[in-house]
Structure 1
């Protein structure tokens, strides 16, 4: 993980979130607006159909008053169809595609996407017809077009405004974040030097004057501090770990070296480290990642074990996977589902920041390593990691 937040990713994520919220809020007024457009379009259709109907009546009446024309040419329109019908709705003359229903209401009516206007003549004066029916297809495309334009405008404007506002609010936090990132990196560098000096001088003192319990405690404490330092260092450099090439690592050898390293810490609590390690197991992996899995599990197993108990480590090659297992007989885990969460600690008296197992969890997810946890509160835990061979 990079300690510095990706500002653009942050802004885009929350701009999209706020845009979605604003769009949902404005959907109700947009729906009301669309319904209003639909009503207006219906009113427009009714007026146009009524005008066409009276225009046809006007043409028929002109024909009736004229003695010079023997044949009536029925008016035709591009977007409208009409017809004259008798009392039983049988066509006298019709351009309609279907016969009208017997119970069709007078005036303006709707049938699906059809809009119909029906006039009843008081006398059979127009070619013995009782009804004039005019119909057209309802054009909903302008409404849909307006709806999409308004919706698109809301989304675009909301996103741009959210992005601009969030960017202005994020500037001070971005500066603090950069300063904090620089401070942590500088602090890590400064911590490394005195820590190295402590370890070197402890080793020199041990060789010259021999081991005593006070020196052992100093050595164990410095190793625990080194483990925490290594976790922090991994977090700072984690982004670059993704691009590191995997190597064919001697899994067995690395595990044995880690056990030797943690012997001093275990001896401080009179904990015996037992192991069952199959020799000459090699596996393609990034060594820094493997070291994190081993060190964090070993450190936790010792940390949460009871004094004068034991820790068992297993490394076995199976048919489909390599099994790495850490078993302790300590206090167990109250909430196994939370144990891999960042900064989560069940026992605040044991020290640490609660980042070790979170690092392990991310590595196992990245590398498709199956994790199994068995724990009985008050009796101990078993962490199992299955590294796939295929």
Structure 2
């Protein structure tokens, strides 16, 4: 494209020179008519194309119909903007006279042709680049398709044994230290499974929004996760939850926010500590959901919500949880924040918009 533009500029210059030469030949032909008429003292010729002036040897103007005059007479050919001037002289009875002829030269036609060529070339280059782009990404699209199919099949194969293991564990009816550990492991696997499932499907499946009682659903999820805290002899305090807080969003998305925040607090807190969970209604139509732990704190808050980032590799996981939470908060306009202090703990805050009676629409 750059080479063609450079070539077009050069071609435009050559076309301009060619047009100038053609105009000069026409001017010279017209010059003979003017000279002959002036010498024979006939009526001087009129022309719609050419304008001219005749001067005596002292530079005094004898005749002129020039629409535009040159700045001085020291030239043979002169191009001034869109006007071409040509000067010559002749003799009558050994007395010299000067003749200046002008012609307007327009570059619009040449500019139009060059612009048309550049536009066509740009479209052609853009089309070729687009075809090249499609050809280059096709292998990646196929690979992505195969990976999605593989993960969907793998997730389907994992869901069944997880369900069977949980059901059979309940049917055993045995409550001891070992069965509690198995239950907690199954819950961790289930939460990880749901994170990956949401991450894979979020790009091509729309999870429908619904009116959710955040207070009741939060208590439900906390009770589900209590056994994970019990395994570390942790106390979960959740008696400061305002009732009747309704929101509009996908239940699967809300579950990801609650589960990931609470399980992270459990994961990164020491044994025999506590977690404080609150849901407080404000007067401005906002409800603040917060989870406070007394664990190790976060060194770099900016990295906490980035994908595949984990401060403590010994805790395991893929580093997807808080990245998914961040994406969900962006989608549903949920403001989130973290206050942390090393070796003292962290508090995660989420500001939800409370649903009004007219069921305020939420961004899809």
Same fold at TM > 0.5 = yes
TM-score, length-scaled by structure 1: 0.80
After superposition, the Cα gap between the structure-2 partners of 1:162 and 1:100, relative to the gap in structure 1 and judged at 3 Å, is closer
CA distance in 1, matches of 2:334, 2:57: 83
SS at match of 1:130: strand
Summarize deviations over 1:71-119 as a string: whole Å, max 9, x none. Answer: 32324143x44333567876533333234323x651333433x232231
Matched, 1:194 2:161: yes
**Partner residue of 2:151 out of 176, 184, 197:** 184
If asked which structure has higher relative contact order (CA below 8 Å, sep 6+), I would say 1
Matches for 1:304-383 after TM superposition, within 5 Å: 304-320=268-284, 321-383=286-348
**Partner residue of 2:71 out of 83, 93, 101:** 101
After superposition, the Cα gap between the structure-2 partners of 1:81 and 1:269, relative to the gap in structure 1 and judged at 3 Å, is farther
Of Structure 1 and Structure 2, the greater helix share is in 1
CA distance in 1, matches of 2:103, 2:215: 86
CA distance in 2, matches of 1:372, 1:338: 13
- Cα displacement (A) at 1:229: 0.8
When structure 1 is superposed on structure 2, of 363-372 and 376-385 the one drifting more is: 376-385
| 1:135 corresponding residue in structure 2 | 103
**Partner residue of 1:273 out of 218, 228, 236:** 236
TM-score, length-scaled by structure 2: 0.85
When structure 1 is superposed on structure 2, of 222-231 and 380-389 the one drifting more is: 380-389
**Partner residue of 1:71 out of 35, 42, 49:** 42
Matches for 1:1-390 after TM superposition, within 5 Å: 26-27=1-2, 29-64=3-38, 66=40, 71-78=42-49, 80-85=50-55, 91-102=61-72, 105-112=74-81, 114-121=82-89, 129-153=97-121, 155-205=122-172, 208-209=173-174, 211-239=175-203, 242=206, 244=208, 246-275=209-238, 276-320=240-284, 321-389=286-354
Q: Is the 8 A contact 2:12 2:110 kept in 1?
A: no
RMSD over equivalenced CA pairs, Å: 2.8
Q: Is the 8 A contact 1:53 1:132 kept in 2?
A: no
Q: Is the 8 A contact 1:86 1:131 kept in 2?
A: no
- Cα displacement (A) at 1:176: 3.4
What are structure 1's unaligned runs of at least 5 residues? 1-25
When structure 1 is superposed on structure 2, of 116-125 and 283-292 the one drifting more is: 116-125
Task: State the number of aligned residues.
Answer: 353
After superposition, the Cα gap between the structure-2 partners of 1:73 and 1:230, relative to the gap in structure 1 and judged at 3 Å, is same
CA distance in 1, matches of 2:169, 2:42: 122
SS at match of 1:385: strand
CA distance in 1, matches of 2:71, 2:27: 18
Summarize deviations over 1:136-167 as a string: whole Å, max 9, x none. Answer: 133144234324423432x3333443344444
What are structure 2's unaligned runs of at least 5 residues? 355-359
After superposition, the Cα gap between the structure-2 partners of 1:63 and 1:99, relative to the gap in structure 1 and judged at 3 Å, is closer
Summarize deviations over 1:152-203 as a string: whole Å, max 9, x none. Answer: 32x3333443344444454544443333222211111111111112222333
CA distance in 2, matches of 1:90, 1:280: 102
Q: Is the 8 A contact 2:12 2:114 kept in 1?
A: no
Q: Is the 8 A contact 2:281 2:288 kept in 1?
A: yes
Summarize deviations over 1:14-54 as a string: whole Å, max 9, x none. Answer: xxxxxxxxxxxx32x23422331232133124313422332
| Structure 1 consecutive aligned stretches of length 4 or more whose deviation exceeds 6 Å | 87-90, 124-128
CA distance in 2, matches of 1:330, 1:311: 9
- Cα displacement (A) at 1:277: 0.9
CA distance in 2, matches of 1:357, 1:81: 81
CA distance in 2, matches of 1:91, 1:387: 89
